[in-house]
Every structure is written in structure tokens, then in C-alpha cells.
Amino acid sequence: MQIIAHRGASGLAPENTLKAIRLALTLGTGAIEIDVQQADGELWVFHDRRLERCTDGRGVLMAQSRTYLESLNAGEGEGIPTLWQVMEAIAGQAELHIELKGAQTADEVARLTRRAEAELGFTTAQWVVSSFHHPELARFAALRPEIRLGALTSTIPLTQAAFAAELGAWSLNCDVDFVDQQLVQDAHDRGLRVLVYTVDDPADQAMLAAIGVDGIFTNRPDRFLPSAKLDSLCRG
């Protein structure tokens, strides 16, 4: 089962920061998920619509200036990184799952993935672009049809995984609170992988493995790594 660090290693460092990204890499996580939003002509790696929970700032992120966003503390002295800064930190060392958090993200993600392939050593196969905003995901697909798509849902749709197949997705990304055997089977029958968020408990992972889930997004990738890897990290 694939292990994907959710917002970086966000159970161990402030979410969606360069510290969380670097920690996920140090732990040996092969894939990292982040959220991106657009403000003042830049893509910022940040989950919430508003700034209060994760920073010392106030207001809606998309309404802020670059100068203001650059001034904020996103935890432990970390700033809000841009997508390009995260790409530079990873530089092809792991898969990057980029979740489009809303409108005005697809075009810039298309541009930056191309640039990162040219300048940072990423391959096209190392990206998965996902979204709950299916029109924005479809827009991205039209711009970069060769990149894998993750179709996000927090529901069990009446037509099961049909919407993901309609989008031409590579994976159905669904909520641990809703996923069940029928949805996994339906997705597999349509040729889709099934990735589940957010799974921090090994007992949940075992249940998901039993129904055929292909990967999990976790805030605690350390809990799902082979013990040999953790032992070697502890020994330094």
C-alpha cells in the first residue's frame, strides 16, 4: 500500500510547511501531498480558506497580498511556502500530490510542473494533481493530459466512482469515514486506484488493506514505515 505524507509529515511539524516536507523526505516517504491556493499572482501551499488556524495572520488567504503572506508565521517560525519552494525542496526525490484548493490554480500548476521537470529533475510520472473542484481538475487535464489525476470526494456518490472515470482520473481519492468495499470494487472495475485520507491509525490501515485500498494519506508517515527504516534513522 502506498504511503503519502498528508500536508507533509504534518503530525510531526506544522502542516504544509517546508519543515513538514523535509521531515517527510527524511523519513523516507515516497510521496507527499500538499494543498495549493492562489493569491496575488502566486500559488501558496496552504489548506484553509482563512489564515487564523495555521498562522498568526487574519483573513481569507486569497484576498491577501504577497507581502502580507510572506510576513506570516505558519508555526515554529516557518513561513507559508510557495508551490515552487516546495518543488525545490523535493526536487524529484518523491512523488508530489498537488491538491488544487480552488479556482485559478490549474494554469499555474501546469506551468510550474513543466518548469520543475525542466529545472528540478522531476519526471511527469512523479505528479498527481487532485481536487474536490472537478471543473478546475478538468481544466488542468486539458492543459497537461499526460499527468495523473486524483478525483477527490468526501461522499459516496449515487453512481459510485463514475464521476472519477468521467474525469479521466488515475485515482479515486476518498474519505476514510465513507469508503467501503463496494466503492473500492467499483473504482477498481473502472481501472482506478483508490487512495484514502486521512489515516493515522494502523488499525484503520489494516481495515483499508482488507478491502483493497491502494494507498493512504497520513499525517504520521513514521507509523507506517518499515521498522528497519526507522531504526536506521534513530541510529543516525
| 119/177 with CB nearer ligand G3P | 177
Cα-based angle 186, 110, 135 (whole degrees, multiple of 5) = 45
Q: Crossing angle, helix 106-119 and helix 83-90, to 10 degrees? A: 30
Question: In the window 104-143, what residues touch ligand G3P (CB under 6 A)?
Answer: 130
| 199/228 with CB nearer ligand G3P | 199
The answer to whether the CB of 31 falls within 8 A of the CB of 2 is yes
Residue 98: which H helix or E strand, with range?
strand 95-100
| 52/232 with CB nearer ligand G3P | 52
Q: Does 222 bind Mg ion (CB under 5 A)?
A: no
Contacting residue, 15, 78, 95, 99, with Mg ion by CB under 5 A: 99
Q: Does 217 bind ligand G3P (CB under 6 A)?
A: yes
Residues 6+ apart with CB under 8 A from 92: 120, 121, 122, 123, 126
Residues paired with residue 215 on neighbouring β-strands, in sequence order = 2, 195
| 165/176 with CB nearer ligand G3P | 176
217 binds, among Mg ion, ligand G3P, none (CB under 5 to 8 A by kind): ligand G3P
Distance in Å, CB of 197 to ligand G3P, minimum: 4
Contacting residue, 122, 170, 197, 224, with ligand G3P by CB under 6 A: 197
Contacting residue, 3, 9, 14, 35, with Mg ion by CB under 5 A: 35
Cell 511556502 maps to which residue? 81
Q: How far is the C-alpha of 57 from the C-alpha of 158, rounded, in Å?
A: 40
Q: Does 222 bind ligand G3P (CB under 6 A)?
A: no
With contacts defined by CB under 5 A, name the span among 30-38, 52-60, 177-185, 219-227 that binds Mg ion.
Answer: 30-38
Q: Does 173 bind ligand G3P (CB under 6 A)?
A: yes
The rounded radius of gyration (Å) of the Cα atoms in the chain is 17
Residue 106: which H helix or E strand, with range?
helix 106-119
**How would you classify the pairing of strands 215-218 and 193-197?**
parallel
Contacts with ligand G3P, residue ranges (CB under 6 A): 6, 33, 35, 47, 99, 130, 152, 173, 197, 217
Contacts with Mg ion, residue ranges (CB under 5 A): 35, 99
